[in-house]
Amino acid sequence: MSSQIQKFHGELAVKIDEFELPTPGYTVCIARQQPSLPAEPFHHWTALSGLTWLTFSRQGKNSYLLRFEGYADFLIDFASVEVQAIPTPETTSSTVEHLYLNQVLPLMQSHQGQLVLHGSAVVIDGAAVAFLGQSGAGKSTLATSFALAGHPFLTDDGLLLARSPEGVAYKVLPSHPTVRLWEDSRLRLLGETATSVLPVQYNSKARIVSSSAMPYCDQPQALRAIYILGLERAAVNASSASSEAQEREIAIQRLTPAEAVMALINHSFVLDIEAQAVMARHFDQFTALASSVPCFSLHYPRHFDALPGVQQALKRHGVELAKIPP
Amino acid sequence: MNTAQKLSIPRHVMARQVGDETVILDLNTGTYFGLDPVGARIWQWLTEGLSLPEVCASVVDEFDVTPDVVQVDVQRLVDELLSRGLVVTSGQ
């Protein structure tokens, strides 16, 4: 017998990528250079470069100032549900829009009680499967590879979930018919001919619109399973195989319920980590989700030639899951 | 082992059972912890107000292990929970 306490993921801080959702409007104010922050930030996100990318400050009881360093400030008033964007003079309108759609909006949705995760989703044999991961984990590349093989994508990053009235089933809501890929993935998966639209200033990802060759699903789909990319292998795989052998294999392993809750939380959007009532609600949401939807760690060789094998393994896995009664 | 010691959950700590495990959230720090099935049962008994000897007796009954092993293991878990502020002593 052994009782065990494990600490998971020291903080709730999450690194943000981009994603898009249908959205209410926001007001764009006259551009200005960013003044000193009126209040000390209570939280910040750091880019892969190590520089501060986004700071969170409170403006009042129900108001926040989100500052994207060098690009734009967003003032969010939850009392009136109004958002003001104040770009710097150098920031393009498409960048402001992208920051709002992909980062500010999901944070707002999460704060207002919706389930929003850093993940992509595709439709396989009539059900959605989701891939969660931090920036660079491969979720957009994996979703794109599935779409190119005829399995439509629902979202390439922002994963918005809706719970059934009975509370036991979840659906993935479609976000936007584009995927965003780093250059190596774009060239390898799509070649030179793919049409890239509306670049943004803060990274070099190409934005590709869906097509008959890369279909998009615009209807909510029942969520069958969640696969999490980039978890530490040692934590989820007790195999005695060498690390080199492990790197060559595709491994799918069911997470324990507690591991699943931790992984979901670690891939969620959280606006105010100090708002205890909101944190408590997030906690209940993710506990319920982990109790209803099976969650797995997914490891596979990180090269493009492995992707067809990953697709086959996940399709087989989906068939097995479908046989299990809910 | 302090035989009269009882433990309680401070206001800033939340716990939820998920499957046969338990996840604990420390709202002050935003830190989460997981308890495996055995730890989850011990947590349940502790937070129901059982004393440490009562918890140990329950573990012996449910998991078919010897009392000396149980006592060491329960005390280790309790010490860790106390050190992380996830439980506090409520009686001496």
Q: Which of residues 271-300 of A touch B (CB under 8 A)?
A: 273-274, 276, 279-280, 283-284, 287, 290-291
Check whether A233 has a pLDDT greater than 90: no
> Which residue on chain B is closest to A260 by alpha carbon?
B18
pLDDT given for residue B91 in this prediction:
52
Q: How many angstroms separate the CA of residue A25 from the nearest CA in chain B?
A: 32
Asked whether B40 and B17 are in contact (CB, 8 A), the reply is yes
Banded pLDDT at A123 (limits 50, 70, 90) = very high
Q: d(Cα A16, Cα A270) in Å, to the nearest integer?
A: 10
3-state secondary structure of A146: helix
Check B34 against A261: CB less than 8 A apart: yes
- Candidates A3, A10, A287; nearest CB to B16: A287
Asked whether A176 and A21 are in contact (CB, 8 A), the reply is yes
pLDDT given for residue A325 in this prediction:
67
The DSSP call for residue A196 is B
Neighbour-count burial for A81-115, b at 16+ CB within 10 Å, e otherwise: eebebbbbeebeeebbbbbbbbbbbbbbbbbeebb
Name the strand (E) or helix (H) holding B17.
strand B13-18
Average of per-residue pLDDT across A211-232: 92
Name the token pair of A154: 């629902």
Contacts of B23 (CB under 8 A, 6+ apart): A257, A258, A261, A262, A283, A287, B15, B16, B32, B33, B34, B35
pLDDT given for residue A160 in this prediction:
92
Asked whether A319 and A125 are in contact (CB, 8 A), the reply is yes
Banded pLDDT at A5 (limits 50, 70, 90) = very low
For chain A, count helices (H), then strands (E): 9, 17
- Candidates A11, A258, A291; nearest CB to B22: A258
Whether the pTM exceeds 0.80: the reply is yes
Check whether A323 has a pLDDT greater than 50: yes
Nearest to B23 by CA among A179, A176, A263, A35: A263
Average of per-residue pLDDT across A211-240: 81
Residues of B in contact with A273 (CB under 8 A): 30
Average of per-residue pLDDT across A238-263: 78
Higher pLDDT, A234 or A84: A84
Per residue in A252-297, pLDDT (tens digit) is 999 998 899 989 998 998 888 888 888 888 899 999 999 999 999 9
Check whether A216 has a pLDDT greater than 90: yes
Q: d(Cα A122, Cα A131) in Å, to the nearest integer?
A: 9
Average of per-residue pLDDT across B62-82: 89
Contacts of A243 (CB under 8 A, 6+ apart): none
pLDDT given for residue A97 in this prediction:
85
Check whether A87 has a pLDDT greater than 90: yes
3-state secondary structure of B84: coil
pLDDT given for residue A13 in this prediction:
26
> Which residue on chain A is closest to B40 by alpha carbon?
A3
Q: How many CB atoms lie within 10 A of CB A217?
A: 20
Check whether A241 has a pLDDT greater than 60: no
Per residue in A51-82, pLDDT (tens digit) is 888 999 999 888 999 999 999 999 999 888 88
pLDDT given for residue A260 in this prediction:
93
Check whether A8 has a pLDDT greater than 50: no
> Which residue on chain A is closest to B16 by alpha carbon?
A287
pLDDT given for residue A194 in this prediction:
62
Name the token pair of B26: 């420390």
Can you list the alpha helix ranges (DSSP code H) found in chain A?
93-99, 105-111, 139-148, 183-190, 233-236, 243-248, 257-266, 276-292, 307-323
Higher pLDDT, A164 or B25: B25
Average of per-residue pLDDT across B37-58: 90
- Candidates B16, B27, B77; nearest CB to A279: B27
The DSSP call for residue A136 is T
Average of per-residue pLDDT across A147-164: 91
Per residue in A289-319, pLDDT (tens digit) is 999 999 999 999 988 889 999 999 999 999 9
The DSSP call for residue A305 is G
> Which residue on chain A is closest to B27 by alpha carbon?
A276
Check whether A192 has a pLDDT greater than 60: yes
Let me know if A45 is exposed, middle or buried by CB neighbors in 10 A (0-12, 13-18, 19+): middle
Asked whether A225 and A321 are in contact (CB, 8 A), the reply is yes
Name the token pair of A210: 């869906």
Q: Which of residues 227-246 of A touch B (CB under 8 A)?
A: none
Q: How many angstroms separate the CA of residue A88 from the nearest CA in chain B?
A: 33
Check A4 against B69: CB less than 8 A apart: no
